[in-house]
Amino acid sequence: MNNLTEKVIGCAIEVHRVLGPGLLESTYERCLMKELSEAGIKFVRQAALPVKYKGEELDCGYRVDLLIEDRLVVELKSVEETTEVHKAQVLTYMKLLNAKVGLLINFNKKLLKNGIKRFSL
**pLDDT tens figures, 77-107:** 999 999 999 999 999 999 999 999 999 999 9
| Tens digits of residue pLDDT in 7-54 | 999 999 999 999 999 999 999 999 999 999 999 999 999 999 988 899
- The pTM (predicted TM-score) of the whole model is 0.94
- For the cut 90, the answer to whether the pLDDT of residue 1 exceeds it is no
Q: Yes or no: is domain 2-120 CATH 3.30.70? A: no
Q: Which of 41, 11, 42 is nearest to 107 (CA)?
A: 11
DSSP string over 1-68: -HHHHHHHHHHHHHHHHHH-SSS-HHHHHHHHHHHHHHTT--EEEEEE-PEEETTEEE--S-EEEEEE
User: CA of 75: how far to CAs of 8, 53, 93, in Å?
Assistant: 12, 23, 9
**Rg of the chain in Å (alpha carbons):** 14
- How confident is the model at residue 43, as a pLDDT? 97
Amino acid in the structure at residue 101: V
- How confident is the model at residue 52, as a pLDDT? 86
